[in-house]
Each structure stands twice: as C-alpha cells, then as structure tokens.
Amino acid sequence: MAISVAVILVVILVPFSGVVNGKTKELKECDIYKGGWVYDSSYPLYNSSQCSFIETPFDCQQNGRPDHLYLKYRWKPRSCNLPRFNASKFLEKYKNKKIMFVGDSISLNQWQSLACMLHSRTPHSEYTLERVGALSTFNFKKENVSLIVQRNALLVELDTDDKSYGRLLRLNSIAEGDAKLWRGCDVLVFNSWHWWKHSGRKKPWDYITDDGEHMYKDMDRLVAYEKAMSTWSKWVDENIDFAKTKVFFQGISPTHDNAENWGSHDGKHCSEETRPVFGPTYPKENPAEKIVEKVIGNMSKGVNLLDIFRLSQQRKDGHPSTYGRPGKKLGMDCSHWCLPGVPDAWNELLIAELTRS
C-alpha cells in the first residue's frame, strides 16, 4: 500500500515542480495559470474563525463540513513559483489605496477571501467594515488600505425607474452611479456571468434592449452577454487611466452541478467531493469564457484577464455543497466557494499579477 501511495504522489507532484529544463522561470516570464494543485501542509492561509465577517454560506467548516483535505491544496504554476503571501508587505505597498471588486456574489467570495488573508496575518491591525446598499468597504486603518466590493452582477445598466415596463436591462449603457465609483480606484477586478444564466423568477430583468429603442422580453444569453461585455470594455477603455489604475477581469468561475462533466457517474453534483480533478485538462468548456477572452483581446493592453476558469474547474471539492448553513444540510451550492479555499488562490494570482506589473 505504501508503494502505491508514493507512486501516486510522484505522478501528481512532479509535473508541477516549477522547473523547466532544470531552470525556474522569472515570474514576469511565467504563465502562472498553467500548473496544478499540490498538497501543502502549511495551508490554509487562515482559519475562518479568525474572520467573523465571512458570510455564513462560505464558512463551510463552521457549518459542519467534516473533511479538511480540500483546505490543503495550493496552486503551483508549472514553470515558476508564486511569491509567498506577505500581508504586511501588501498593506504597506497599497497604503492609502483602494482595491475594488465589482460583480456578483463570486466577487463577494474573492473580496472576503482577500480581507481575511490580510486580517488573519495582521490580527492586531484595526479595521472598519461598512456596508451601505450594494457597497461594502473593509478598511485597514493604519495603512488606510480600502478593500471594496460593489454588488453589480451584470455590469451594464439595469433601469428600474419606469414602472410601466419594470426592470429594463440596457446592454448599451453603463449606469453612471455605479461607474463613478470605479474612477479613482487603484486596482479594479471585474466579474460577471452567473446572473446571465438565470431564467423564470430568477431572471433579473423584465425587458432587455441593445439600442435604447427596441425592447425584448429576452435574448440569446450569450449574444446579450457579449453585447454587455463590449459596452463595459468600451467604457473602461475610454474612462480609466491605466497609468494609475490596474484593471482585471476575473475569468468565469465554474460551477460543478453535473458530475458527468468530470467523468464521474456516481453522483449528480459536487456533494461529498473531497479531492480535485488532477490533470492538465478538463472535458467541459464554457462558451462565456471564449467571449471574455475575445472582448479583452480587443481592449487596451491595460486590461488583464485573471484567468481562473480552468484551474478552478479542477476544484470540484471546493464548493459549500450542503454546508451553506450551520447545522442544516439544506440546498446544494456548487457555484460559490468555501473560505478558506479556492478564492485564496485567485488572490495569490492577483497579487502575483500586481507584483510583475
């Protein structure tokens, strides 16, 4: 049995040693999104009990999840090493600066991850947490570093002013009330996709328009998404000073609702999954990811893709599943992510991108 385990570990770990032809690449030359998940006994980076502000649906351990192995995986690029997370250094570097996440609850996931990564390593630092409407701000008082999240699931304007037609989604318009907050930030991380898939009662609009004149009850979702993304990209190119602001678009965060997508026929979703999908490929593609890549490819060089899609696809074990509420195994969440967990790796990649830029 011991021999079998050793062989498995070699197969998993060797391809992602961070060395190519005997040499480790510099971070700026490395594709940090190609690699694998490796076991690291020093992980996770924090304990959720250190962060009372983590949303209950993300706090899987406090909600009774019995396994712990999913907490022990670290993302390892194939040809380089990510910089080790240093909270004090990060806070000093971004002193008097604003970092804003804009998007849906996946952005909330990532924002809370970064706040906890920093707070847990500097536990005596005073902070304030303010929530006003769709805006939440976590501020480290000494360094005056503000981590902000704006709940804005669609990025384009959702007009609710005219009650005669209800909620009108304007694919050709950015709401100035939202966008004025984007100006002046030092780092912007955008995200949008999950709410574009909702239908029926969960559909967030009543009508949709792409020219401001013609209204439709609905539209092909991928067509609508690409139009919205193009509107967003045009606004960013025309309004953001890339000399002052680093802009990222977070790649699509995958769901794991169908076990057949990762070759399993024993289950229907992510419930009771405790290990990643090991290997460089994954059989399921997401057409929205192609749209993201296309739109960003046509933008200014100042916008970067935080390409979390494929590496997150491998983490079928990282979702709350039935552990989104304390003491009650209700529902099935294969969309959001446990904290600590996969979003911590997204933030390590974000920090790496900021380091090399």
CB 34 within 8 A of CB 76: no
Active site residues: 105, 333, 336
Q: Which of 201, 194, 258, 202 is nearest to 221 (CA)?
A: 194
Q: Which two tokens stand for residue 333?
A: 């969440």
Residue 19 identity: V
**In angstroms, what CA-CA distances link 256 with 49, 56, 249?**
27, 20, 21
Other beta carbons less than 10 A from residue 68's beta carbon: 10
Q: Which are the contacts of 305, defined by CB distance < 8 A and separation ≥ 6?
A: 248, 249, 251, 292, 293, 296
Q: Which two tokens stand for residue 301?
A: 């060089």
Measured between its terminal Cα atoms, the distance across the chain in Å is 47
Query: What's the CA angle centered on 78, arms 26 and 81, to 5 degrees?
Result: 45
CB 165 within 8 A of CB 215: yes
CB 210 within 8 A of CB 152: no
Q: Tell me which DSSP letter residue 83 carries.
A: P
Q: Which of 77, 97, 85, 92 is nearest to 34 (CA)?
A: 77
- List the alpha helices (DSSP H) in the chain: 2-13, 87-93, 105-121, 176-179, 221-239, 287-297, 309-313, 342-356
Question: For residue 229, with 0-12 CB atoms within 10 Å meaning exposed, 13-18 middle and 19 or more buried, which class applies?
Answer: buried
Q: Rounded to whole angstroms, how far apart are CA atoms 213 and 248?
A: 32
